[in-house]
Amino acid sequence: MRAAVARAAAVRGTTSPNPPVGCVILAADGHQVGAGGTRPPGGPHAEVVALAEAGERARGGTAVVTLEPCAHHGRTPPCTDALLAAGVTRVVYAVADPTAVAAGGARVLAAAGVAVEGGLLAHEVATGPLRAWLHHARTGRPHVTWKYAATLDGRVAAADGTSRWISSPESRAEVHELRRKVDAIMVGRGTVLADDPALTARAEDGTLSARQPLRVVVGLEDLPAGARVRDSAAETLHLRTRDPAEVLAALADRGVVDVLLEGGPTLAGAFIAAGAVDRVLAYVAPKLLGAGPVALGAAGVSTVTAAHRLVVDQVTMSGPDVRISATPARN
């Protein structure tokens, strides 16, 4: 299953609105004979990719897959059919499919005489590669990660407005890696005015990644004609609203499942106040500024007992910076 999880993680960011799934096929003697991840929409699901590699060696073997195999005709035929046709006699999956259309695969397989086990490494998969997709499947809304880089005194820019290089090169490289795995990167119009960010996923030498997430700018007013987000490096969507619910609905309509909200403080505050942030990712640099805007603007809190509570799920170092991942307590 760990090998299947790695396959799923490798295709994250290329499958939306379909889930990034990984699958490994073991022959009857237990040796791995096939592996694969979900191909981009319209292409084969992970099971079909892994079965193609295994060929006849799948007969009498086991399929290990991160999501319950689908039992429905979507753009591709049901994976349960492919598994049965290949002669697989055992299926082990991590997470049950929560969607009404695709669920029921485990039942179909069991009824055909396949030994089926669910739940292996379910938590790891549900909080890892499938996190955003499961959130979207349950709520109909994209999963939003609010990411910011701040000094130890919580500032995201200096008093003169300069904000580049708050975090370390290691942290910036991690953010580009993260950008490669999401469907969209979002900022408020204020960040475009202040920083003129490119909002692209790039390698350390500045080369653009092959796949670019959708760039989203939220705000009622026009964007400057020469703004970098208007160049041809990636597609940009300017949403002329200030309502997070409207933003999420517009993104869901476009098949966006996983969003990285990169600020600034005003837009982040509106999203936190609306309960529209599903994960907070903070890069805290060991620097002090003493003045300048702080990470979060007004978020509907006037007294300490009303603070938005988070549960920290991971603290790691990123070069000299501390990287904190936290989830709103409501989740």
Catalytic residues: 47
| Total Cβ atoms within 10 A of residue 314 | 11
Q: How far is the CA of 40 from the CAs of 21, 75, 85, 98, 271, in angstroms?
A: 11, 11, 23, 21, 30
- Distance of closest approach, residue 8 Cβ to ligand NAP, in angstroms: 29
The verdict on 323 binding ligand NAP (CB under 6 A) reads no
The verdict on 230 binding ligand NAP (CB under 6 A) reads no
Considering only the stretches 136-144, 160-168, 224-232, 310-318, report the one whose residues sit in contact with ligand NAP under the rule CB under 6 A.
Answer: 160-168
Among 251, 297, 310, 321, binds ligand NAP (CB under 6 A): 297
Q: Which amino acid is at 20?
A: P
**With respect to ligand NAP, which residue has the nearer C-beta, 168 or 191?**
191
Considering only the stretches 120-128, 212-220, 227-235, 321-329, report the one whose residues sit in contact with ligand NAP under the rule CB under 6 A.
Answer: 212-220
Compute the residue count for the chain: 331
Distance CA 106, CA 289 (A): 56
Considering only the stretches 91-99, 119-127, 149-157, 174-182, report the one whose residues sit in contact with ligand NAP under the rule CB under 6 A.
Answer: 149-157
The verdict on 40 binding ligand NAP (CB under 6 A) reads no
Examine residue 17 and say whether the peptide bond preceding it is cis (omega within 30 degrees of 0): yes
Considering only the stretches 65-73, 169-177, 214-222, 314-322, report the one whose residues sit in contact with ligand NAP under the rule CB under 6 A.
Answer: 214-222
**With respect to ligand NAP, which residue has the nearer C-beta, 63 or 261?**
261
The verdict on 191 binding ligand NAP (CB under 6 A) reads yes
The verdict on 221 binding ligand NAP (CB under 6 A) reads yes
Among 157, 186, 251, 272, binds ligand NAP (CB under 6 A): 157
Strands (E), 172-286: 184-188, 214-218, 236-239, 258-261, 279-285
- Give DSSP secondary structure letters for 98-138: --TTT--HHHHHHHTT-EEE--TTHHHHHHTTTHHHHHHHH
The verdict on 242 binding ligand NAP (CB under 6 A) reads yes
Phi, psi of 74 (to 5 degrees): -105, -130
Beta bridge partners of 3: none
The verdict on 174 binding ligand NAP (CB under 6 A) reads no
- Distance of closest approach, residue 164 Cβ to ligand NAP, in angstroms: 8
189 near 224, Cβ under 8 Å? no
Distance CA 257, CA 184 (A): 8
CA 34 to chain centre: 26
- To 10 degrees, the CA torsion angle through 302, 303, 305, 306? 0
- Distance of closest approach, residue 212 Cβ to ligand NAP, in angstroms: 19
Distance CA 294, CA 4 (A): 41
Tokens of 76: 């591709």
Among 143, 265, 318, 326, binds ligand NAP (CB under 6 A): 265
- First CA to last CA across the chain, in angstroms? 26
The verdict on 267 binding ligand NAP (CB under 6 A) reads yes
Among 24, 37, 264, 272, binds ligand NAP (CB under 6 A): 264
67 near 93, Cβ under 8 Å? yes
| Beta strands at 32-37 and 22-26: parallel, antiparallel or unpaired | antiparallel
**With respect to ligand NAP, which residue has the nearer C-beta, 105 or 197?**
197
Considering only the stretches 122-130, 226-234, 258-266, 311-319, report the one whose residues sit in contact with ligand NAP under the rule CB under 6 A.
Answer: 258-266
- Distance of closest approach, residue 218 Cβ to ligand NAP, in angstroms: 4
Residues that bind ligand NAP (CB under 6 A): 148-149, 156-157, 161, 163, 166, 187-191, 194-195, 218-221, 242, 262-267, 270, 293, 297
